[in-house]
Amino acid sequence: MNKKKIPHDPNEVLAIVNEKDEVIGKATRKEIHTSGVLHREVCVYVLNSKKELLMQKRKDNGYWDDSASGHFPFDSTYEDAAVRELFEELGIKIQKEELIFIAKDFFNATEKINNRIGQVFLVKKDVKIEELKIDPDEVMEAKYFNENKIKDMLTKENCITGMTSKILKKYLLGNLDKY
């Protein structure tokens, strides 16, 4: 029997890491977000041949976010998590070899205790919106945006998540043509 994944499952066991991203323990998502310990997250962006980024609108807060992202089990790698998150949230199948490493950075959220090290990946792939298999428990919609539209969205309040805003400004915008 297939067990349905619970989005943001408070009982999912995640890795606790130090500043060098070395696993030093494990705890549930709820315990991690209550205590504020450092943990891992992966962020993936799909870039099509028109140099547009695929973004998803989150169901939990209505903000635009990366193509797919998430915390992941303590015994998983960033690459495994990137492949899994793209498939779970949008139905996009990729191989680990398609992942382009962009960055590893520290992120924290002011709206809740969520201190994490995140790895950011890019996937160059033309995926039609109508072919996506969106997870309705996590995603309201998905859309492609060009760089100018994203820059405009970044000027608006309550439009793009804080972590995604940081990634777009620091690593992606102004650099899409090199991919």
Amino acid at 1: M
For residue 78, give the CATH number of its domain.
3.90.79.10
Number of domains in the chain: 1
**Residue 7 domain flag:** no
pLDDT in tens, 56-94: 999 999 999 999 999 988 899 999 999 999 999 999 999
Contact 69, 161 (CB under 8 A): no
Query: What percent of the chain has a predicted confidence (pLDDT) above 70?
Result: 94
Contact residues for 131 (Cβ-Cβ < 8 A; gap 6+): 91
**Residue 20 domain flag:** yes
**Residue 82 domain flag:** yes
**Residue 4 domain flag:** no
* Structural domain boundaries enclosing 44: 13-178
**Residue 2 domain flag:** no
pTM: predicted TM-score of the whole model, two decimal places = 0.92
**Residue 141 domain flag:** yes
